[in-house]
Chains A and B, each alone.
Chain A
Amino acid sequence: ETGVTQSPTHLIKTRGQQVTLRCSSQSGHNTVSWYQQALGQGPQFIFQYYREEENGRGNFPPRFSGLQFPNYSSELNVNALELDDSALYLCASSPSGGITDTQYFGPGTRLTVL
Chain B
Amino acid sequence: AQTVTQSQPEMSVQEAETVTLSCTYDTSESDYYLFWYKQPPSRQMILVIRQEAYKQQNATENRFSVNFQKAAKSFSLKISDSQLGDAAMYFCAYRGIQGAQKLVFGQGTRLTINP
Contacts and interface: CB of A to CB of B under 8 A. Distances in A.
A42 B102 contact: no
Chain B contact surface mostly: loop
Contacts of A25: none
Interface stretch (A15-23, A67-75, A76-84, A103-111): A103-111
A106 B42 CA distance: 11
A92 B45 contact: yes
Given A45-B102, A56-B100, A101-B101, A107 B44 contact: yes
Nearest to A110: B43
Nearest to A101: B101
B46 A33 contact: no
Interface stretch (B13-21, B56-64, B72-80, B105-113): B105-113
B11 interface: no
B35 to A, nearest CB: 8
Contact of B106 (A33, A42, A56, A99): A42
A43 B43 CA distance: 12
Contacts of A50: 100
A42 B100 contact: no
Interface residue tally on A, bucketed by range = 20 to 34
Contacts, number: 67
Contacts of A101: 101
B44 A105 contact: yes
A106 B47 CA distance: 12
A43 to B, nearest CB: 5
A103 B103 contact: yes
Nearest to A94: B101
B91 to A, nearest CB: 5
B107 A45 contact: no
Contact of A108 (B43, B100, B102): B43
Interface string B92-105: 01000101111111
A28 interface: no
Contacts of B93: 42
B4 to A, nearest CB: 8
Nearest to B105: A42
A11 to B, nearest CB: 14
